[in-house]
């Protein structure tokens, strides 16, 4: 049952840029046949260095460019994630430029070149600098690119896009050649310096293959089919360059809309064939895996068995289904053979006995066919399995016979509602129901009481959850979803009523779910003496001395019990 790594794991190949990487698969267990869903988390190591999409950058920068002007240099890619991914950029020491890292809305980190002091073409016509990208590994990995800067004469105005970021939605079945959108930029210069041409900025080859931009109009069209199941959104970098070499950048965010273009896939994971005719009800005879690559309602599948057969489907984990015997079908059929002929070889079947220990027996057998039928509804809580002995007898004189034992397993159904053990319901005739005292000085999180409930079913049918159904002060108390603990959600204030009645709902996880309610009475008081007058809404009658003495003894007993409880 040990799980081993059979070949070297490559997280980047298996999960690409996903921040969390899991490998999911089913493990089959035979005899009895069952399936377990396994998820293995693949952790990242710093085995990839960041790299630029190109080795050289060429920039044309006018000598009149003002200090503080920024130039987009693009993004270095790192296949690792988390702290092992790209963390920053460094630029070779120089007098004019520095590099800064910016983070876009999609999480990518790009470099911007910032001009620190004015250029002078007459003293320095070009610069060659080394740009370095570093990740956060220990030790860090890095890569470099050459930055060639050519200082040009003045072109006063750079192009300006109408928007820094465009957003568009596109169906995944959009045909090739479809128009995505049109981007537009303007330039305040005149002549050749105002002539704008459009192109794509630094992007991965995967995105570049999918789109085409018209250099004159800025119209972006689709040139490769989209697939929502492969990529749900794309970020397209577009640049506008004027005749003087100044460039403006914008981003086009393309949201891919899902269409129902994938049929459900049915995979037979395992099958036990042939199935013995005496297989008990609940025997798993096949495991079926069903998935649909679409999302939302288009990806939800409903499975059913076609035709008339004594089988049914039961949902398992991870989109798997188990094929079981239907509860309404005959339990099974036993078969005995006799090598004799005629009456000597004619076999009849009889119940011999078993472990059920009840009368009449829970099953009957048809004497000629050997078919076993349920005599009454089974109760999983009373009997989870039982055996019956079947006697096969021939018609000879004297007759000969042999016996076989049939073991029957009963499957649980959600036929029992949760039963509340605490708080108990008030007994008939009782003047005061059970109550809890909460001091008004109680802090947030003070444990008031614990709702205790049980469910006679098994498995998911017995998993219980708790929720607060009714409370006079909704924000004063909270109920633990799985623990059933009632605690204060805030500090008690003087405005809160002294008597609080809480109704809790206890629900199991069966299909359909069954539930029960519990009523808890809470008195807000600093002591039991202060709480006692609040327990009765009727005016106190004139008591006799004997009754007063009884109440005094009762109060002292309650105080002693409370003191011992506090010590515990």
Write out pLDDT tens, residues 266-325: 887 767 777 777 777 777 778 788 888 888 777 778 777 776 667 777 666 555 655 574
Q: Which two tokens stand for residue 1?
A: 């049952």
Helix (H, G, I), strand (E, B) or coil at 210: coil
For residues 245 and 60, the answer to whether their CB atoms sit within 8 Å is yes
d(CA 21, CA 81): 10
Of 353-357, 363-367, 516-520, 564-568, which gets the smallest average pLDDT?
353-357
Helix (H, G, I), strand (E, B) or coil at 176: coil
pLDDT at residue 354 tops 70: no
d(CA 398, CA 378): 38
Burial class, 117, CB count within 10 angstroms (exposed 0-12 / middle 13-18 / buried 19+): exposed
pLDDT at residue 435 tops 90: no
Of 83-87, 284-288, 343-347, 427-431, which gets the smallest average pLDDT?
427-431
d(CA 212, CA 198): 11
For residues 473 and 493, the answer to whether their CB atoms sit within 8 Å is no
Contacts of 447 (CB under 8 A, 6+ apart): 485, 486, 487
Angle at 41 between CA 38 and CA 45, to 5 degrees: 155
What pLDDT shows up at residue 289? 83
d(CA 272, CA 257): 41
Residue that has been written with the tokens 């959009």 in this structure: 174
Angle at 347 between CA 345 and CA 349, to 5 degrees: 165
Whether the full predicted model's pTM is greater than 0.75, yes or no, is no
Query: Which domains occur in the chain, in start order?
Result: 1-154 (2.60.40.60), 160-257 (2.60.40.60), 265-325 (2.60.40.60), 330-409 (2.60.40.60), 419-534 (2.60.40.60)
Higher pLDDT, 475 or 327: 475
Highest mean pLDDT among 308-312, 423-427, 453-457, 528-532: 453-457
Angle at 201 between CA 126 and CA 182, to 5 degrees: 130
> Which stretches of 352-423 are DSSP H helices?
none
**For 515-550, b where at least 16 C-beta lie within 10 A, e where not — what string?**
bbebbbbbbbbeeeeebbebeeeeeeeeeeeeeeee
d(CA 9, CA 2): 18
Q: Determine phi and psi for 478, rounding to 5 degrees.
A: -135, 150
What pLDDT shows up at residue 532? 67
Higher pLDDT, 278 or 356: 278
Q: What does the pLDDT average to over 492-506?
A: 88
Contacts of 502 (CB under 8 A, 6+ apart): 468, 470, 471, 477, 486, 519, 520, 521, 522
């Amino acid at each position: 049952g040990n799980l081993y790594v059979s070949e070297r794991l490559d997280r980047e190949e298996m999960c690409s840029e996903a921040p969390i990487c899991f490998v999911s698969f089913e493990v089959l267990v035979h005899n009895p046949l069952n399936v377990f869903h396994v998820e293995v988390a693949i952790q990242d190591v710093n085995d990839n260095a960041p790299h630029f999409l190109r080795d050289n950058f060429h920039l044309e920068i006018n000598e009149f460019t003002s200090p503080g002007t920024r130039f987009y240099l693009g993004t270095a890619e790192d296949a690792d994630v988390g702290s092992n991914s790209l963390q920053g950029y460094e630029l070779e020491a120089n007098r004019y430029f520095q590099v800064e890292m910016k983070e876009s809305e999609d999480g990518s980190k790009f470099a911007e070149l910032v001009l620190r002091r004015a250029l002078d073409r007459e003293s320095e016509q070009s610069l060659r600098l080394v740009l370095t990208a570093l990740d956060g590994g220990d030790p860090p990995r890095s890569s470099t690119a050459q930055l060639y800067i050519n200082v040009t004469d003045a072109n006063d105005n750079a192009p300006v896009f109408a928007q820094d970021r465009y957003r568009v939605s596109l169906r995944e079945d959009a045909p090739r050649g479809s128009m995505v959108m049109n981007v537009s930029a303007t330039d305040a210069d005149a002549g050749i310096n105002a002539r704008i041409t459009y192109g794509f900025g630094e992007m991965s080859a995967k995105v570049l293959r999918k789109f085409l931009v018209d250099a004159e109009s800025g119209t972006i069209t689709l040139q490769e089919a989209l697939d929502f199941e492969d990529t749900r959104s794309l970020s397209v970098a577009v640049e506008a360059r004027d005749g003087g070499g100044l460039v403006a950048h914008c981003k086009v965010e393309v949201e891919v809309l899902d269409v129902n273009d994938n049929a459900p896939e049915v995979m037979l994971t395992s099958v036990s064939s042939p199935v013995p005719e005496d297989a008990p009800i609940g025997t798993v005879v096949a495991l079926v895996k069903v998935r649909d690559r679409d999302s939302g309602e288009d990806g939800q599948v409903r499975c059913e068995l076609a035709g008339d057969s004594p089988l049914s489907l039961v949902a398992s984990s991870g989109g798997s289904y188990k094929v079981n015997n239907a509860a309404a079908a005959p339990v099974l059929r036993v078969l005995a053979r006799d090598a004799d002929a005629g009456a000597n070889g004619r076999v009849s079947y009889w119940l011999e006995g078993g472990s059920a220990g009840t009368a009449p027996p829970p099953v009957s057998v048809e004497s000629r066919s050997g078919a076993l039928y349920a005599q009454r509804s089974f109760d999983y809580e009373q009997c989870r399995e039982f055996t019956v002995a079947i006697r096969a007898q021939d018609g000879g004189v004297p007759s000969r016979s042999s016996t076989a034992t049939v073991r029957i397993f009963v499957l649980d159904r959600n036929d029992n509602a949760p039963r509340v053990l605490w708080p108990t319901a008030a007994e008939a005739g009782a003047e005061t129901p059970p109550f809890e005292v909460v001091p008004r000085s109680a802090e947030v999180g003070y444990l008031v009481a614990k709702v205790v409930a049980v469910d006679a079913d098994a498995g998911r049918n017995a998993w219980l959850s708790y929720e607060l159904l009714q409370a006079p002060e909704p924000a004063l108390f909270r109920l633990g979803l799985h623990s059933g603990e009632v605690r204060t959600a805030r500090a008690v204030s003087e405005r809160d009523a002294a008597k609080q009645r809480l109704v809790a709902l206890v629900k199991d996880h069966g299909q359909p779910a069954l539930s029960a309610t519990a009523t808890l009475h809470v008195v807000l008081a600093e002591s039991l003496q202060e709480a006692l007058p609040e327990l009765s809404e009727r005016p106190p009658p004139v008591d006799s001395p004997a009754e007063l003495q009884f109440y005094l003894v009762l109060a002292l007993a309650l105080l002693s019990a409370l003191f011992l409880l506090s010590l515990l």
